[in-house]
Amino acid sequence: LFFVMEFINGGDLMYWIQLVGKFKEPVATFYAAEVAVGLFFLHSHGIVYRDLKLDNILLDFEGHVKLADFGLCKDGIVGMKKTQTFCGTLDSIAPEVIRRQPYGISADWWCFGVFIYEMLVGQPPFSGEDEEDLFQAILEVNPSFPRNLSKEALSICRGFLNKDPNSRLGCSPAGSLEIRDHVFFRRINWELIESRAIQPPFKPCVRDKRDTSNFDSAFTELPTELSPTDKLFIMNLSQSEFAGFSFVNPEFVIEV
Supply the residues annotated as catalytic.
51
65-67/57-59 β-pairing: antiparallel
User: What does the alpha-carbon distance between residue 247 and residue 224 come to, in Å, rounded to a whole number?
Assistant: 22
Enumerate residues 6+ apart whose C-beta is below 8 A from 149. 120, 121, 157
Going by the DSSP 8-state scheme, the letter that residue 207 receives in this structure is S
Q: Where are the beta strands (DSSP E) in the chain?
A: 57-59, 65-67
Rounded to whole angstroms, the Cα distance separating 171 from 179 reads 10
What sign has the CA pseudo-torsion 72, 75, 79, 83?
Answer: negative
